[in-house]
Amino acid sequence: AINIASLGGQVRLIGLIGDDEPGRTLENLLTKHNVTCKFEHLQGFPTITKLRIISRQQQLLRMDFENGFPEFAGERLLKIYKQHLNWANVIILSDYLKGTLNNVKNLIELAQQSGSIVLVDPKQQNFTTYQGANLITPNLVELEAVVGKCPDDSTLFHQGMRLIEEHQLGALLVTRGEKGMSLLQPNKKPTHLPTHAREVYDVTGAGDTVISVLAIGLASGLSLIQATQLSNIAAGIVVGKLGTATVSLEELEHAVCEQWTPNKGLVTESALLSLAKAAKNQGETLVFTNGCFDILHAGHVAYLQDASRLGDRLIVAINTDKTVRDLKGPERPINPLKQRSAVLAALACVDWV
């Protein structure tokens, strides 16, 4: 929920907590992070609490304090769910086998009737429970517990497609740790995405990041493949942080620019604006200069090298052929715009032209 809120999404969180101090602390923290809480407070049930023991930036131990809600009937929670169905574009059902989603099949059916997209993070081995969901996001271990070992992409594809057909799923997204993730859809080739993690400090919450970024991507109008690519990049960011972490909009924008936009060279105006914004968000200093650069000589190169030392990124704007003629006469330029741009972009001291 906080992942979605940190990316600018509106999110309402429905669930069960105890009528105790941990429950009140949880609700206050979520509210501070712009999450609207719609909790049912249960008497006699403690709020589920997880304690992580960390030493020298390494998680040594996790202690869970819980009883779950095994006999929870869910009538009031179902009423809250129905009240907010028409508000949501996308619904995430995160099933941790604690009892909150004992009737998850009914929740999926109600969401379908309202026209909402349903994403499920599954924990049950009986995937019939999730029948009709638009997408489920098991990790590889969870998938193999249902279909058996998947030692290669081919086995994963065939077993995954069998699940999709049997349970009428819209798609299956399998997170595979250091192997990235695989998206399977009916009547389409599989999409295998490599991991974008540079360094892995802590994988806690990576799956939650994947499904939350998927949700906000789909709610914003992205295609499923585009939203999956975005969630893969986001997961690569959070595993580089210690503890349960979120990804910010600025971090995601910067990572997307690195992934999908050239780091150097010729760029369009819109790409330059995105790159410049991302650079500023990272605290980088931008240096801008312009000129005709018709016949590039050593003086030009020295000037540009000096300019690049003034900051972190050097942007060079170049005059069009028409403005060069206006400035230098009808016989100029000697080198047309395309050639002048290519020469400038090849210089090591120039970031973007």
Query: Which residues are 193's β-sheet partners?
Result: 181
208 is catalytic: yes
Q: What share of the chain is helix, strand, coil (3-state, %, to 5)?
A: 45, 20, 40
What is the distance between the alpha carbons of residues 52 and 26, in angstroms, rounded to a whole number?
16
Q: Residues 81, 83, 88, CA angle at the centre, nearest 5°?
A: 75
Q: Is the distance from CB of 180 to CB of 193 less than 8 angstroms?
A: yes
CA distances from 120 to 170, 194, 215, 229, 337 (A): 11, 22, 10, 18, 52
What is the distance between the alpha carbons of residues 252 and 229, in angstroms, rounded to a whole number?
11
What is the distance between the alpha carbons of residues 242 and 233, in angstroms, rounded to a whole number?
17
Query: For residue 125, how many other CB atoms are within 10 A of its CB?
Result: 12
CA distances from 137 to 34, 95, 129, 172 (A): 25, 11, 14, 6
Catalytic residue among 95, 202, 208, 351: 208
Query: Which residues are 290's β-sheet partners?
Result: 317
Phi, psi of 118 (to 5 degrees): -115, 120
Residues assigned a catalytic role: 208
